[in-house]
């Protein structure tokens, strides 16, 4: 009997609800579940450019076909969902997008969940690790609880980013260039701002994006960062919003922060919005500390790693 790949994928995912698998992992499972059908598919193959002569070749072919059939799979079975980024993962869920967001928000408050998984706060050092190793950005965590809240209940909603980053453009410059920049009062830094979320899907994409617009548009680069981004429609919406407002997107790899990636580059804002920065500094002592460190860099031309938030592997 010929292998019906579409039905095989559906049945496999349906048998393991809420578990996430890459196309290759699904292919490996199908190879074990349908050995005779897979062997027949391999023997019947007439491909000449990439011939299927081994199980490894077959796995690669199955993974490619699963990727190609994804839109039809999701149209036929809406419960089959995917995460975005690399590698894309497939899973079967009866939860609506709203339900998934509500569950994640509720789980944030559950000690049992935190002991088994990760919280939004757990993502901060992982994002900082990626930013340091890949982009040489010094980061500072901004704790919203350190705010004055002088504007009353809700007055500071969506005001503060989770992380502020500082990029030293002059680190590889000759001393004469540094002196020249100092004399002409040109900039030698870029400031980055980040809003961090665990999950982005069709239900909350606009809310979390505009939260990032609200608290990160003041910087040279503003980013929304998330550990999980679900669905191609979510990515499409984020690209549209980024084209309008310039906030970029980073996918945080929880297991391997160095493999995190910028999905949508942020659009550079040439000049800092210092009025907005002043509001942040007046309201939050952590943000004020960050601005003081940047000012000291301009005064001395030096920065110390120990003054900035770090992850366990950052050398001081």
* pLDDT tens readout for residues 199-254: 898 889 999 999 999 989 999 999 999 998 887 888 999 999 999 999 999 999 88
Domain ranges of the chain: 5-94, 120-307
CA angle at residue 250 from 249 to 251, to 5 degrees? 125
Neighbouring C-beta atoms of residue 211, cutoff 10 Å: 19
CA–CA dist 8, 20 (Å, integer): 16
Q: Token pair for residue 211?
A: 């939260």
**In the block, which residue shows the tokens 């930013």?**
131
What is the reported pLDDT for 116? Answer: 37
Q: How many CA atoms lie within 13 A of 127 on its CB side?
A: 29
Which region holds residue 301: left if phi is over 0, alpha if psi is between -120 and 50, else beta?
left
Longest dimension (CA), the chain: 78
In 3D space, the residue among 76, 57, 75, 62 whose CA is nearest the CA of residue 21 turns out to be 62
| pLDDT confidence tier of residue 195, bands split at 50, 70 and 90 | very high
Task: Let me know: does 23 contact 66? Beta carbons within 8 Å.
Answer: yes
> How many Cβ atoms from other residues are within 10 Å of residue 48's Cβ?
6
Task: Give the model's confidence band at 54: pLDDT under 50 very low, under 70 low, under 90 confident, else very high.
Answer: confident
Q: Where does 136-231 have alpha helices with state H? A: 175-183, 205-216
Whether the pLDDT of residue 138 is over 50: the answer is yes
Closest of 168, 221, 214 to residue 193, by C-alpha: 221
What is the spatial distance between Cα 128 and Cα 166, in angstroms, rounded to a whole number? 11
pLDDT (tens digit per residue) in 19-29: 888 888 999 99
Are the beta carbons of 267 and 243 closer than 8 angstroms?
A: no
What phi, psi does 144 have (nearest 5°)?
-60, -25
Check residue 157 and give its pLDDT.
Answer: 63
Tell which CATH architecture fits domain 5-94. Orthogonal Bundle (1.10)
Helix 232-245 vs helix 205-216: crossing angle, to nearest 10: 30
Token pair belonging to 297: 């860099």
Task: Answer left, alpha or beta for residue 20, where phi above 0 means left and psi between -120 and 50 means alpha.
Answer: beta
Q: Which residue has the tokens 């199955």?
A: 62
- In this prediction the pTM is 0.66
| CB neighbour class for 91 (10 Å; exposed up to 12, middle 13-18, buried from 19) | middle
Average pLDDT value for residue range 30-44: 84
Structure tokens at 263: 């999905």
What is the per-residue pLDDT across 101-130, written as a single tens digit (0 to 9) for each?
Answer: 666 655 554 443 443 367 888 899 999 988
Please report the pLDDT score of residue 247 as a whole number: 95
- Would you give the DSSP letter of residue 306? G
């Amino acid at each position: 009997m010929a292998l019906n790949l579409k039905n095989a994928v559906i049945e496999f995912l349906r048998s393991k609800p809420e578990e996430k698998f890459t196309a290759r992992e699904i292919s490996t499972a199908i190879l074990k579940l349908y050995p005779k059908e897979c062997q027949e598919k391999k023997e019947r193959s007439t491909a000449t450019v990439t011939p299927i002569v081994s199980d490894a070749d077959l796995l690669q072919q199955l993974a490619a076909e699963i990727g190609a059939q994804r839109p039809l799979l999701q149209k036929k079975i809406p419960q089959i969902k995917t995460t975005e980024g690399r590698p894309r993962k497939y899973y079967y869920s009866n939860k609506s997008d709203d339900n998934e967001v509500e569950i994640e928000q509720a789980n944030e408050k559950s000690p049992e969940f935190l002991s088994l998984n990760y919280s939004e706060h757990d993502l901060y050092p992982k994002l900082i690790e990626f930013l340091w190793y890949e982009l040489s950005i010094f980061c500072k965590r901004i704790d919203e609880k350190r705010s004055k809240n002088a504007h009353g209940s809700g007055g500071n909603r969506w005001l503060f980013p989770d992380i502020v980053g500082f990029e030293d453009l002059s680190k590889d410059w000759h001393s004469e260039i540094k002196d020249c920049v100092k004399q002409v009062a040109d900039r030698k830094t870029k400031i980055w701002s980040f809003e961090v979320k665990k999950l982005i899907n069709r239900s909350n994409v606009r809310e979390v994006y505009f939260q990032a617009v609200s608290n990160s548009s003041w910087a040279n680069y503003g980013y929304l960062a998330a550990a999980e981004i679900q669905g191609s429609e979510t990515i499409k919406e984020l690209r549209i919003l980024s084209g309008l407002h310039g906030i970029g997107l980073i996918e945080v790899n929880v297991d391997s922060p160095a493999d995190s990636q910028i999905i949508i580059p942020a659009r550079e804002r040439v000049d800092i919005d210092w009025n907005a920065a002043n509001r942040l500094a007046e309201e939050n002592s952590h943000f004020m500390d960050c601005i003081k460190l940047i000012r000291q860099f301009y005064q001395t031309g030096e920065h110390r790693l120990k003054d900035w938030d770090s992850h366990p592997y950052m050398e001081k």
